[in-house]
Amino acid sequence: MEQKKGSPGGKPANKAAPKGKVSNYDFRQNTVQTGKVVKNYDFRKPKKFTKENLRGLNTVSEHLIRIFSSNLSGLLRVFCEVTQLDIQECKYSEFLHGIPDKTLVGIIDMVDAVTDDNKCTMMAYFPSTIDFFMIDILLGGGGTSYRLDRGFTDIEIAILENFYYKVSHYLTESWKSLDDIRFDLKRYETNPKLAQFAGTEDSVVVMSFQIKIREITDVFSFCMPAVELDTMLRQSLKKQSKNNPTKGDGDKDMQRRENLEESLKGSTMELTAVLDNIYLDMQDIVNLKVSDVIPLNKRIDENIVLTVEGEPKFIVRVGDRKIKKSVKICGTVSGSDVNEFYNNY
């Protein structure tokens, strides 16, 4: 059988995609695909967002996940799990294509908390299933009427508007780790196509999160113009480098470690000085009384082990301090000391 040229196995060669055709952006793809996703890079439309800025947004998203999970669970009295899906750059038109028309979105201004200058405007999108679930719960329902294919009434819009105000406060808290930015709800739109805060061909950065509430599993996202966001993040990094000119990645890790150690200083742990381990018959233990003497296998001047929450950590020596018994730390336990401790105790 004759094979076509350039198509091994007799299969027809793949035709090139029509010039100028762009695939639609799907911010839900990580929910239906498993494994590593490989994408073709379009050199005609280079990415404007740097990896350094993406790392900054990853820090924000970590705080956002924690704040959203706790606050939504408290607001709805229902366990809520939030996980990050992806942070991607795409065209604004591609993002709008993946959002249904009958959806309420919030337009939020990102304002400098010091100068009150508007640095950027973003869109907050929550799917209708989550919106109707929240409305049903907040109005005293059981949270079962959420798969509705219709628009929102005035009362429902008022409830969701109050929710978007809370979302803006959550964003303000999560962004404090990166910069002193305040998020203010500017307006809402019942049709995402009318929320033209960016040009349809402009590049935007989309932060996508998966939310699980009871049997609902859906995706909400935040869309921000890439150019304005890149400028804002560059200014934030310059401000941080100016305040900490000698800090690098290692110093940041050290700072985080110091902050963690500082937060743990107020916690309490049990220390136990283990004198010795002996075995007695139950009859002897029952007959123990005051002034009985129990001989130990260690000398009074011999080192013993000090445990922290049951784990051997230090070698100590018993002594007196004023009128109290005490131990003096002589060093840390070695591997042989740990083995001997667990074998004997």
Q: How many domains is the chain built from?
A: 2
Establish if 120 belongs to a structural domain: yes
Give the residue numbers spanning the domain of 73: 45-242
Residue 308 shares a structural domain with residue 183: no
Q: Does 309 fall in a domain?
A: yes
Residues 147 and 209 in one domain: yes
Digit-coded pLDDT (tens) for 249-289:
556 777 788 778 877 777 788 888 888 888 888 888 888 88
Residue 320 inside a domain? The answer is: yes
DSSP 203-259: EEEEEEEEEEETTEEEEEEEEEEHHHHHHHHHHHHHHHHHHSTT--HHHHHHHHHHH
Please indicate, yes or no, whether residues 165 and 202 belong to a single structural domain of this protein. yes
Say if residue 2's pLDDT is above 50: no
Q: Which of 70-74, 178-182, 233-237 has the lowest mean pLDDT?
A: 233-237
Do 87 and 182 fall into the same domain? yes
Predicted confidence at residue 53, as pLDDT, reads 65
What's the whole-model pTM score? 0.55
Domain assignment of residue 260, yes or no: no
Same domain, 205 and 315: no
Q: What's the mean pLDDT when you consider all of the chain?
A: 78
73 shares its domain with 148: yes
148 and 196 together in one domain: yes
Question: For the segment 104-126, what is each residue's pLDDT rounded down to a tens digit?
Answer: 888 888 888 878 888 888 899 99
Model pLDDT for residues 306-321, shown as the tens digit of each residue: 888 888 889 888 888 8
Whole-number Å distance between alpha carbons of 1 and 235: 65
pLDDT score of 8: 44
My answer on whether 199 and 275 are in the same domain is: no
Residue 155 sits in the same domain as residue 198: yes
Q: Residue 79: inside a domain, yes or no?
A: yes
CA separation (Å) from 284 to 24, 251, 287, 290, 294? 81, 59, 5, 13, 11
* Range with lowest mean pLDDT among 49-53, 70-74, 304-308: 49-53
Q: Is residue 15 part of a domain?
A: no
Q: Are residues 233 and 336 in the same domain?
A: no
Does residue 3 fall inside a structural domain?
Answer: no
pLDDT band at 31 (very low <50, low <70, confident <90, very high): very low
318: Cα separation from own chain's centroid: 47
Q: Does residue 80 sit within a domain? A: yes
